[in-house]
Structures are given as C-alpha cells and as structure tokens.
Amino acid sequence: MSLEIQNLHVRTEDREILHGVDLVVRKGETHALMGPNGSGKSTLANTIMGNPNYEVTEGKILLNGEDITEADPDERARAGVFMAFQYPATIPGVSVANFLRMAVNAKRPDDPIKVKEFGQLLRQNMDLLRIDPQFTSRYLNEGFSGGEKKRAEILQLAMLKPEFAVLDETDSGLDIDALKIVADGVNALRGPEMGGLIITHYTRILNYVRPDFVHIMIDGRIVREGGPELADHLEEQGYDWIREEVGAGA
C-alpha cells in the first residue's frame, strides 16, 4: 500500500515548477519533504490533491498502484488521500461540526454516521488536540487565528483517518505551545494504517515528529534523500551547503 509519485512534471499557467519528481510513501511511514521557499513543495502537495491550478504535463501519481493523476480532488479524498492546507479556505456559515460530519459522511454515503457516534468521535479527537468544545460551533476558519486554523486541519485529519496525509507547512505560524499540541496530535495518529508526508521549511516540527525518511527539494527536484539525520544536518547548516553541492555536481 503506497502513494507513489513517478517522474512528475507540473506547471502553472506561467512556467514549469516540478521537473520530474519521484517519491514513494508506504503506509506506516512518515516522510519529511524539506526545502527552501519556492522550491516546489506546496506545488507537489497541491498536485497530489488534484488542485486544478496545477497541470501535470508528464509522470503519474499512483495510489495503491492505481493511477489517480487525472482524478478529481473529491475522488482522491474518498480514496484515502488528505492534505492539511498551509492556508485553508474560510467557509462562512458552515460550522466546524457540520463540516466535519459532511466530510465524514462523504466517505460513507450509504451509511451516514450516527449522531451519537459522531459526537463521541469528535470529543475524543478534540481532547487529543486540546480544542475548546465551543470551537465546533464556529464557522470553519472564519476569524480563526493561525494556530486555530492549523488545529482545525489536524482535527479533520483525525476525524477522516486517511491512508495518506500530506501536511503542507502545518508548523508555520504556530508558537511553540501550539506546535507541540499539533505534533502530539500527529504522533498519536501515526501508525501502521497511515502514511504521512510532512512538508516543511524548518526542522522545528521534526524535533517533535521524527520522520523515517527525509527528502530535500530544491528548484522543483528532489536533490537529497536520507534518514532523520539529514534533517539534523539541515538544522545545523541550512540549505546553502546543499545548493553548493548540487550546483557543483551539475
């Protein structure tokens, strides 16, 4: 069981951003994708999810062997792919609880979740993420602080239990307390049933969520891969040494 990216080339209206990316995330593994701003990390996340603003010109995305490169975002979601957004949209007039129930039911259209069961599941996950119960009656992301938005994303992750989750810069904009809460949540959700791809600019979150594999992306290509020690190395030395090495090798 895996999420597999093969030779992925992606462009927006103006230009090509990803120039042939290969990456395999197996269920049960946690990967970190690191890279400086503008390297194409968020493009990869959005393309995995099927954002219509990004066009795949070459290569494939396979979910458990099945080609989902052309699938609509909702099909991917129901098939078990999830993305926690860096900047999630605001949905006025729709409460967190209502939205979560609709999202949970989208995966089980013939057997909608019972109100009681949903309530229990919600409470359990809110406890996990230390979220105030009143939070769920607010409109999704409307007037939320940066930290609240990120927690709402992780709450959705916890409720939807996807097979593969992409966390796009979930650590950005979080103070250290909020970061620890989010990291605790992610750690609690890790396990043999989920594969994770944590996209981050900084090594900060990786001190709390230790990845099994680290990939470094620069200018639309994955240029280095290794274990968690690669992240430690970045922590100490920044991205410049990689740029230099890649530049020298080219």
Partner 1 sequence: MPSPTFLEERRKAALEVFEREPLPTWRRSGFWTTSLRKLRLDELEPRRYDPVSSLDELNPVVSEALRDEELAGLIVQRGASTVYTQLDPAAAEQGVMVMSLEQAFEEHPDLVERWYMKRLSENEGKFPAASAAFWTGGAFVYVPRDVVVDKPIQVVWLIDEAGTAQYAHTLGIVEDGSKAYIREYNLAPDFEGQALHAGGFELYCRPSSNVKLAHLQDWGSGEVHDISTKRVEIAADAHCGWVPAVLGGHLTKQTLDIVTHERGSDMRQNGLYFTEGNEHLDIFTTDLHEAGDTTGDTVWKGALTGESRASYEGLIEIVFGAQNSHTYLQTHSMLLSPKAKADSIPSLIVKTDNVSASHGGTVGEVDEEQVFYMMTRGLHRLEAVRILVEGYFEEVIQKLEDDRLEEVVRERIAGKLTEAAEQVEDYIAQR
- Cα–Cα distances (Å) from 2 to 55, 65, 137, 152, 204, in that order, read 22, 7, 36, 26, 27
* Residue among 80 and 220 whose Cβ is closer to partner 1: 80
Please select the residue that binds partner 1; options are 11, 78, 201, 210, rule is CB under 8 A: 78
CB of residue 249 to partner 1, shortest distance in Å: 37
- Sequence-distant (6+) residues with CB within 8 A of 173 are 146, 147, 150
* Stretch 124-153 residues interacting with partner 1 (CB under 8 A): 139
Stretches 32-40, 75-83, 199-207, 232-240: which one binds partner 1 (CB under 8 A)?
A: 75-83
Stretches 103-111, 126-134, 177-185, 233-241: which one binds partner 1 (CB under 8 A)?
A: 103-111
* Stretch 81-100 residues interacting with partner 1 (CB under 8 A): 82-83, 85, 88-94, 99
* Residue among 198 and 206 whose Cβ is closer to partner 1: 198
- Contact (Cβ atoms closer than 8 angstroms) between residue 150 and residue 130: no
Binding string, residues 35-64; x marks residues near partner 1 by CB under 8 A: --------------xxxx------------
Size, binding site for partner 1 by CB under 8 A:
28
User: Which has the closest alpha carbon to 182: 171, 169, 193, 198?
Assistant: 171
- Contact (Cβ atoms closer than 8 angstroms) between residue 196 and residue 27: no
Binding site for partner 1 (CB under 8 A): 49-52, 72-74, 76-78, 82-83, 85, 88-94, 99, 102-103, 106-107, 139, 156, 160
